[in-house]
């Protein structure tokens, strides 16, 4: 039961890495499949799981393709420019 | 007067001179091989040269067979042996017992020495290796901005994740400038802090061409990097010091991209799979609970919750009935007894007796007279009947009945 409270407290914040989220998600899936928790816990874990799943899917989708190259300008500062092969 | 010698004498004399010279009896000479000829006899004939001179060399079959490499024109070598004179030709030459690669040998040595030094310092320790992030926000690439390496990395990256961000920090990958630039690039990427993982890459090449990645300054920069570094230098079989220090070594630049970039399709599939499994598990749980509920619902307690109460009610009613019945019986019984006793009483009642003709005789004082001796002629007696009294006077008495 205390385990459940910990996960709830460490909710999907922007700080959580994709990897952490996936890991927690897997834990929840295994816990649900094992089945030896109460119905209430099953439902709340399920909700958490779905939220984590959405978070991960968003993270996979949020980036934008970009290839940039770092070059030094005349003053010696690094400037980021788009890179073409 | 000048003595006049024969050619053979002169050549012989020179030979002796040279043979007796200590330095020339065991000497190592460095130079570049040219005019190399591996004779069918197994002997090697070549010259070694520097900027201004050449020296003829020969290595006989026995020693030549011991060589671990095939000398070629252009090789920089160190030839060890003795100088002697081939008298017939009036030619002095270096009779070689061993040939070692020059520059390369030095490099190998330097490599071994630095490798041991850094290993002892702990730069290669497995415990210091950092884990690669599963989904990096962006990837830094330290390599040449032209050529196959960056192209391969880009291709593999976007095959796996169409939305990845790559930041190229271009450097020279060989030559004297390279090591410094590579080290600076890694340091700078750490300072900028915008990438989650760094790939340091260079295509295949000789030991000299890869040499920058064996330099100490690069090793230290990789070690100091807080961002995980993947090293992909040279061919699969090339190992550079950069490879040893880095957090992960990749055999090729493409492999490096595969390590750094997750396959998004696989990850999406994994997520779908998790969703499916969670739903299935929850449905299963709900069904289980539903079944349990049903089972309980069909138990008699729930189907007929008042059954127990009704049982008790019946019992109570019965008991009450019994109670009343027993009571009636008891009353009847007692009534009977009473009647009996009442009857007996009645029978014994003096009034009944009096009905039969007997009377109660009392003296004038009110005492009951039931013996003759209590009576004297002239006494006043009271005789009680059922319905009244009579005052009497005794006239005479006589005993017996």
Over residues A30-40, the mean pLDDT reads: 93
Tell me the C-alpha distance between B163 and B157, whole Å: 9
Find, among B276, B273, B164, B274, the residue nearest to A59 by Cα.
Answer: B164
Which pair of structure tokens corresponds to residue B59? 């290595």
Cβ separation A22–B134 shorter than 8 A: yes
Find, among A61, A37, A57, A41, the residue nearest to B274 by Cα.
Answer: A57
Tell me the C-alpha distance between B316 and B324, whole Å: 12
Q: Is the pLDDT of residue A43 over 90?
A: yes
Q: How far apart are the CA of B281 and the nearest CA of chain A, in angstroms?
A: 5
> Could you tell me where in chain B the CATH 2.40.50.140 domains are found?
7-101
Q: How far apart are the CA of A18 and the nearest CA of chain B, in angstroms?
A: 6
pLDDT at B1: 64
Tell me the C-alpha distance between B120 and B117, whole Å: 5
- A interface with B, Cβ–Cβ below 8 Å: 17-19, 22, 25-26, 28-29, 32-33, 35, 39, 42-43, 46, 49-50, 53, 56-57, 59-71, 78, 80, 83, 85
Report the 10 Å Cβ neighbour count for B152.
19
What is the DSSP-derived secondary structure letter of residue B234? S
Tell me the chain B residues in contact with residue A65 when contact means C-beta distances shorter than 8 Å. 158, 162-165
Edge to edge, what strands does the sheet with B248-249 contain?
A78-82, A66-72, B165-170, B138-143, B197-202, B229-233, B248-249
Q: Is the pLDDT of residue A6 over 80?
A: no
> Would you say B246 and B222 are in contact if contact means Cβ atoms under 8 Å apart?
yes
> Could you tell me where in chain B the CATH 3.40.50.261 domains are found?
107-126+135-262
pLDDT at A14: 57
pLDDT at B106: 66
Which pair of structure tokens corresponds to residue B26? 């065991």
B401 compared with A80, residue with greater pLDDT: A80
The DSSP string of B332-350 is HHHHHHHHHHHHHHHHH-H
Q: How far apart are the CA of A83 and the nearest CA of chain B, in angstroms?
A: 8
Q: Is the pLDDT of residue A78 over 90?
A: no
pLDDT at B69: 73
Q: What share of chain A is helix, strand, coil (3-state, %, to 5)?
A: 60, 15, 30
Tell me the C-alpha distance between B375 and B397, whole Å: 8
Tell me the C-alpha distance between B144 and B182, whole Å: 10
The DSSP string of B270-318 is HHHHHHHHHHHHHHHHHHHHHHHHHHHHTSHHHHSTTHHHHHHHHHHHH
> Would you say B364 and B346 are in contact if contact means Cβ atoms under 8 Å apart?
no
Mutation choice for B interface testing from A28, A65, A72 by most B CBs within 10 A: A65
**CA B167 distance to own-chain centroid:** 32
Query: What CATH code would you report for B7-101?
Result: 2.40.50.140
Specify the CATH number for B107-126+135-262; select among 2.60.40.1930, 3.40.50.261, 3.20.20.450, 3.20.20.10: 3.40.50.261
pLDDT at B107: 76
Query: Tens-of-pLDDT digits for all 401 residues of chain B?
Result: 689 999 999 999 999 999 999 999 999 999 999 999 999 999 999 999 999 999 999 999 999 988 867 788 888 899 999 999 999 999 999 999 999 888 766 677 778 888 999 999 999 999 999 999 999 999 999 999 999 999 999 999 999 999 999 999 999 999 989 999 999 999 999 999 999 999 999 999 988 899 999 999 999 999 999 999 999 999 988 899 999 999 999 999 999 999 999 999 999 999 999 999 999 999 999 999 999 999 988 888 788 888 888 899 999 999 999 999 999 999 999 999 999 998 888 878 877 878 888 888 999 888 999 899 989 999 999 998 888 899 999 999 888 87
Q: Is the pLDDT of residue A1 over 60?
A: no
- For A8-22, A64-78, B119-133, B234-248, which range has the lowest pLDDT when averaged over its residues? A8-22
Tell me the C-alpha distance between B362 and B368, whole Å: 4
> Would you say B231 and B192 are in contact if contact means Cβ atoms under 8 Å apart?
no
Beta bridge partners of B202: B233
Tell me the C-alpha distance between A6 and B33, whole Å: 73
Cβ separation A78–B150 shorter than 8 A: no
Please name the member of A29, A42, A60 whose beta carbon is closest to the beta carbon of B267.
Answer: A60
Q: Is the pLDDT of residue A13 over 70?
A: no
Q: How far apart are the CA of B277 and the nearest CA of chain A, in angstroms?
A: 7
Cβ separation A66–B274 shorter than 8 A: no
SS3 B360: strand
Tell me the C-alpha distance between B222 and B197, whole Å: 12
Tell me the C-alpha distance between B381 and B363, whole Å: 5
pLDDT at B386: 83
Q: How far apart are the CA of A81 and the nearest CA of chain B, in angstroms?
A: 9
pLDDT at B104: 64
Which pair of structure tokens corresponds to residue A5? 């409270």
How long a stretch of residues is chain A? 85
Please name the member of A25, A60, A64 whose beta carbon is closest to the beta carbon of B274.
Answer: A25
């Amino acid at each position: 039961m205390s385990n459940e409270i910990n996960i709830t407290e460490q909710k999907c914040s922007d700080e959580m890495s994709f990897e952490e989220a996936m890991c927690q998600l897997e834990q929840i899936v295994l816990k649900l499949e094992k089945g030896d928790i109460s119905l209430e816990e099953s439902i709340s874990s399920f909700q958490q799981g779905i939220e984590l799943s959405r978070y991960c899917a968003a993270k996979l989708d949020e980036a934008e393709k970009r290839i940039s190259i770092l070059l030094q300008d005349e003053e010696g500062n690094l400037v980021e420019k788009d890179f073409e092969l | 007067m000048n003595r006049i010698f024969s050619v053979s004498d002169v050549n012989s004399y020179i030979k002796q001179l040279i043979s007796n010279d200590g330095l020339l009896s065991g000497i190592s000479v460095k130079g570049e091989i040219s005019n190399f000829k591996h004779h069918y006899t197994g002997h090697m004939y070549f010259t070694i040269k520097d900027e201004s001179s050449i020296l003829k060399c020969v290595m006989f079959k026995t020693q030549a067979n011991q060589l671990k490499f095939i000398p070629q024109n252009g090789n920089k070598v160190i030839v060890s042996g003795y100088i002697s004179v081939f008298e017939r030709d009036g030619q002095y030459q270096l009779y070689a017992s061993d040939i070692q690669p020059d520059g390369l040998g030095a490099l190998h040595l330097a490599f071994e020495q630095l490798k041991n030094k850094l290993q002892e310092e702990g730069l290669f320790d497995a415990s210091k290796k950092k884990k690669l992030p599963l989904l990096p926000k962006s990837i830094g690439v330290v390599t040449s901005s032209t050529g196959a390496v960056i192209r391969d990395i880009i291709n593999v990256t976007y095959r796996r994740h169409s939305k990845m961000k790559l930041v190229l920090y271009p450097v020279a990958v060989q030559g004297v400038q390279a090591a410094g630039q590579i080290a600076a690039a890694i340091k700078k990427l750490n300072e900028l802090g915008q990438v989650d993982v760094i790939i340091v890459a260079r295509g295949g090449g000789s030991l000299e061409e890869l040499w920058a990645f064996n330099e100490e300054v690069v090793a230290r920069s990789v070690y100091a990097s807080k961002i995980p570094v993947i090293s992909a230098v040279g061919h699969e079989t090339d190992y550079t010091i950069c490879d040893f220090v880095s957090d992960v070594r990749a055999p090729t630049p493409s492999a490096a991209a595969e390590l750094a970039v997750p396959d998004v399709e696989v990850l999406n599939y994994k997520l779908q799979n998790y969703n499916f499994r969670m739903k299935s598990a929850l449905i299963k749980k709900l069904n289980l609970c539903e079944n349990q509920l049903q089972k309980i619902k069909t138990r008699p307690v729930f189907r007929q919750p008042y059954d127990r109460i009704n049982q008790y009610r019946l019992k109570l009613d019965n008991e009450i009935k019994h109670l009343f019945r027993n009571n009636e019986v008891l009353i009847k019984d007692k009534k009977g007894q009473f009647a009996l006793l009442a009857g007996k009483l009645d029978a014994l009642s003096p009034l009944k007796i009096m009905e039969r003709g007997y009377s109660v005789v009392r003296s004038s004082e009110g005492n009951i007279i039931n013996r003759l001796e209590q009576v004297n002629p002239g006494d006043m007696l009271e005789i009680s009947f059922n319905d009244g009294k009579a005052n009497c006077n005794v006239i005479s008495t006589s005993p017996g009945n």
